[in-house]
A and B are shown apart, each in its own frame.
Chain A
Amino acid sequence: MNRKLIIKSNSPLNDLGNRTNKSKYLLLMIIPAIIFYVVFCYLPMYGILIAFKDFYPKKGIVGSAWAGENGLGNFQKIFKDPYFWTVLRNTIIIGVSKLLISFVAAIVMALLINEVRLRLFKKTFQTIVTFPHFLSWVIVAGLVFNIFGISGIINKALTLNGHDSMTIIYDKKFFLGLIFASDVWKEAGWSSIIYLATMAGISPELYEAADIDGATRLQKIWNITLPAIKPTAILLLILSVGGILSAGFDQIINMYNPGVYEVADILDTYIYRYTLGSGQRPGEGAAIGLFKSVVSFILVIMVDRIAKLCGERGII
């Protein structure tokens, strides 16, 4: 009898009960998180069904009819719309350029700061260049309009001196440049910190050895500093690839205007206007959103695989 009891208490089910009891307080602490992620991350995933429906908020997700014959009506509509392809092209151009420009800018900035020997200058400079990161794009847009906008100093100076009015923020030719430049202005200083921290960890002996071999400054940067920050750089690059199709909604929504939609409208701003604007076609908006999520997900997986094939540490 006794023996049987012992065996019973060791059964898998009882064991699970025991372990649950042991970690009951930790489980208590994780319950809010489970509720949070289910409600705010997984319920919207169920909402993806909207992309396949002729959605009317009053009818609800289940009650709305399927879009088109096979539920793909929304996708057929958006893929036929030439403006969707314009927006997708803009998104890719802006996303990829921003990724590359900010990547290079951060590394160059870090290399330059790392070469400064005056500690006071270095510290002051870093405080100044990292500050804009903590401002919202609303404020940065205000500062940009102040210089490049219709009553900004450039336009004012031109018109006062008898030239034609030229408002850069309404100009398709210059707008993207402005987007990239303001992005570097705001973020380059902050992004460089991570590289600077990695550089601070490089053993000084490597530089000493290079000195003895008679290496110049550039040679030392090329052969010691850059290889040392390579793993960090690749990791950050992989992490940012997933955001290419996001292309910086906050920045664009605050800086663009109807005059430059043709070059500056991106998927996120397009979805936003689709849903809140006059048309109100949530089904198609959700379809574009799903397209974006799926492509971004595939991009992350792909880049991760490539990085692993090249012998670097991946993320997944």
Chain B
Amino acid sequence: MRKFADIKYLPLRPKGSTFDKRITTMDWVIFAFLFIYGIIIIYPFYNALLISISPNEVYMKTPFLLFPKQFDWSNYKQVFDPESTLWGGLKVTLVLLFVGTAYQLFFTVITGYALSRNKWVGKSFVMNMILVTMFFGGGLIPYMNLISKLGLYDNFLVMIIPGAIDTYNMLLMRNYFASLPHELEESAKIDGANDIQIFVKIYLPMSLPMLATIGLFFAVGNWNSWYNAMLFIKNPDYLPLQYVLRELIVSGSSNMERVTEAATITEGFKMASVFFTIVPMMCFYPFLQKFFVKGLVVGAIKG
């Protein structure tokens, strides 16, 4: 008779099974592939960093560097110079980041809440009206015509106002509110609370994690925004960081007429500017990653 203790030696976890802990060749192949892919992701950043901290002559002579030969911080001094256009851009972007995000969050969340509640007059009409805009739009030129009619052309507010509600995130918020227990609303109603009180005192505090997720998406969007500035902003004081960066990098490299003009801007300075915009993101991203992932996953499953 087999002893009880022997059972653990039975092949419950056969070789190659999901629960087999042994490392096989296949594991090494996958590991190697992903490792190389990871290097491909990291290398452009590392390369940019090297260029930004090397003196221009060194970069011109030895473009492939694995380690920095000489350090030269002049590019960063230039970037952090209070007179530099990047600082100006940063100020505009910070306003967009805080004001814009709060504005978007407010309108997106109240709309999501109203649409998540049980029937009210005209709800399905409003819902359909919103859904249509996800699949059909007027296009760029009618939009530009509208903006100039509204007097938003070359107006700082053009970078904030048209972003009030992001339909996708609004629906995400709506689904989240709809998934919270409805009994809370009913009992609060009996106690005499109105819809705004119920929203502010009961449902809003319960949705803080979701609010954080959507707020972060808006914040990233505002940090990265340049499109409305490109279309409508002419005043150099109103240009956001990404647009200033775009002028520096893209216009110099892709408009052949401007190559000569751009040649005076060194690669080192361009890359220092790139790092100036990436570093805040790099610092926050690892800690905030879980919020972003959550937003994506919730949206996909409920969507």
> What residues of B have a CB within 8 angstroms of the CB of A113 in the complex?
34
At the interface, is chain A mostly helix, strand, loop or mixed? Answer: helix
Q: Which of A27, A134, A214, A276 contacts B121 (CB 8 A)?
A: A27
Given A37-B129, A43-B146, A297-B271 contact (CB < 8 Å): no
A243 to B259: give the CA distance in the assembly, Å.
33
Question: Do B61 and A116 have beta carbons less than 8 Å apart?
Answer: no
> How far is B195's CA from A159's CA once the two chains are assembled, in angstroms?
70
A256 to chain B: closest CB distance in Å? Answer: 6
Interface contact A169-B253, CB-CB below 8 Å: yes
Complex contact A194–B297 (CB within 8 A): yes
Q: Closest Cβ of chain A: how far from B123's Cβ, in Å?
A: 8
- A240 in the interface (beta carbon within 8 A): no
A277 within 8 A of B: no
With a CB–CB cut-off of 8 A, which chain A residues contact B139? 44, 48, 271, 286, 289-290, 292-293
Q: Within the assembled complex, what's the spacing in Å between the Cα atoms of A208 and B170?
A: 40
Q: Which residues of A contact B296 (CB under 8 A)?
A: 190, 193-194, 197
Closest B residue to A158 using CB positions: B63
A207 to B16, CA, bound (A): 11
Give the A-B pair count, Cβ closer than 8 A.
281
| B266 nearest in chain A by CB position | A151
Interface: A20 (CB within 8 A): yes
Number of chain B residues close to chain A: CB under 8 A: 98
A250 sits at the interface (CB 8 A): yes
Q: Scan A132-145; emit 1 where CB is below 8 A from any B CB, else 0.
A: 10111011011111
Residue-wise, chain B 229-262 has the 8 Å CB interface mask toward A (1 for contact) of 0010000000000110110011001111001000
Residues of A within 8 A of B190 (CB): none
Interface flag for A71 (CB, 8 Å)? no
Question: Are B140 and A160 in contact, with the CB atoms below 8 A?
Answer: no
Can you list 24 A-B pairs, Cβ within 8 angstroms, ordered by A? A26-B114, A28-B196, A32-B164, A40-B146, A43-B146, A44-B142, A47-B138, A48-B139, A48-B142, A138-B226, A139-B277, A143-B274, A145-B249, A145-B253, A146-B267, A147-B47, A149-B253, A150-B253, A185-B41, A190-B296, A217-B16, A232-B300, A268-B140, A285-B140
